Amino acid sequence: QAPSRDAVRQLCQESFSSPPAALGPLARRACPGLAAAPEEAAQLVSALHNLTRHVVYRGLTKPEDILALFPENFHQNLKNLLTKIILENVSAWRNEAQASQISLPRLVDMDWRVDIKTSSDNISRMAVPTCLLQLKIQEDAALCGNNPVVSAMTVELSKETLDTMLEGLGRIRDQLSAVANK
């Protein structure tokens, strides 16, 4: 009953991306386009959500696998259309799922500058270089939904601290190469 293929595609995408709580409002929005009753729309949207999420969860990539999910007497053309739409989107949806995975706060940006300290209350003349590092950290996307909170933290590193840090980072790099080469 959908007006066009694109409408189906759009509905699939929105159903996948919505968290379960947002499916109700999505169904209500979809009602007019589908000329369906509210309960039917809600059922449809919920079914699309579950279907698309299941495909992404299992990592299904073959058309046969997806076609197998539909019940036997499902409308043939619609089944093929849905399968095609799902296959088109599955890799973008996979990335979306990974990006919104729970995680620690994520580093989103970093900036640095080097200052030379020339004077202080302890010593009136000196020339000590120091590094200021600003890290922009985004809170867990899953918690923030559409309004991620980004905080900036500026830390100061002396040359000695930086050297120690680089040693640590070098060790991480070596460990990563060892893992990659296994």
Partner 1 sequence: MGLLNFSPEPLPEAVSGDMHSLNQLGAQQFCALTDVLFRFLTEPKEVERFLAQLSDFASTNKISLGALKSIVKSVLLVPSGALKRNLSSEQVRADFIALGLSEEKASYFAEQWKLNSPALTRLAVGQTLMINQLIDMEWKFGVTAGSSELEKVGSIFLQLKLVVKKGGQMENVYMELTLPQFYSFLHEMERVKTSLESFS
Residues making contact with partner 1 (CB under 8 A) = 53, 56-59, 94, 97-98, 100-107, 110, 112, 114, 116-117, 120-133, 135, 137, 153-159, 161-166, 168-170, 172-173, 175-176, 179
Closer Cβ to partner 1, 110 or 143, answer by number: 110
Closer Cβ to partner 1, 88 or 156, answer by number: 156
Q: Could you give the C-alpha distances from 94 to 3, 56, 98, in angstroms and in order?
A: 28, 6, 6
Closer Cβ to partner 1, 80 or 118, answer by number: 118
Residue 46 C-beta: closest distance to partner 1, Å: 17
Asked if 118 and 125 count as a contact pair (C-beta separation under 8 A), the reply is yes
Tokens of 176: 């990563």
Residue 22 C-beta: closest distance to partner 1, Å: 16
Closer Cβ to partner 1, 62 or 125, answer by number: 125
Q: Could you give the C-alpha distances from 37 to 7, 21, 25, 65, in angstroms and in order?
A: 17, 20, 14, 31
CA distance 148 to 2: 34
Relative to beta strand 106-117, strand 128-138 is: antiparallel
Residue 116 C-beta: closest distance to partner 1, Å: 6
